[in-house]
């Protein structure tokens, strides 16, 4: 009997994209409204779409610090992996 094997990256990819699709499915109407009103405000400057456009801008601006922190953390991990000082830095931070 030939059984399906899910190994390594395939399984991780499946486990990380499934919640994304669930969120997209649940918030489909809200996301479509935001996209429609955002484009509408950019093209016509209609005041009824201004709140949704501002929400999109705030969402983008709120995501930037998380991205910068993530990149800095990645750089720190790569540096510590290369120089093998991660345990030293953790002990120093805890004490």
Encode pLDDT of 38-49 as tens digits: 999 999 988 888
Helix axes 28-44, 50-83, angle to 10 degrees: 110
C-alpha–C-alpha distance, residues 93 and 35, integer Å: 43
CB 38, CB 52: distance < 8 Å: yes
Residue 73, C-beta contacts closer than 8 angstroms, at least 6 positions apart: none
The per-residue pLDDT for 1 is 45
Encode pLDDT of 5-18 as tens digits: 556 667 777 788 88
pTM metric for this prediction: 0.61
Domain ranges, ordered by start, for the chain = 8-94
């Amino acid at each position: 009997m030939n059984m399906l094997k899910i190994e390594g990256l395939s399984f991780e990819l499946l486990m990380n994209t499934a919640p994304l699709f669930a969120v997209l499915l649940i918030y489909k109407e809200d996301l479509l409204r935001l996209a429609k009103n955002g484009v509408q405000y950019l093209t016509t400057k209609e005041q009824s779409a201004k709140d949704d456009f501002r929400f999109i801008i705030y969402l983008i601006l709120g995501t930037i610090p998380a991205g910068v922190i993530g990149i800095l953390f990645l750089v720190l991990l790569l540096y510590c992996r290369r120089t093998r000082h991660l345990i030293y830095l953790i002990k120093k931070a805890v004490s």
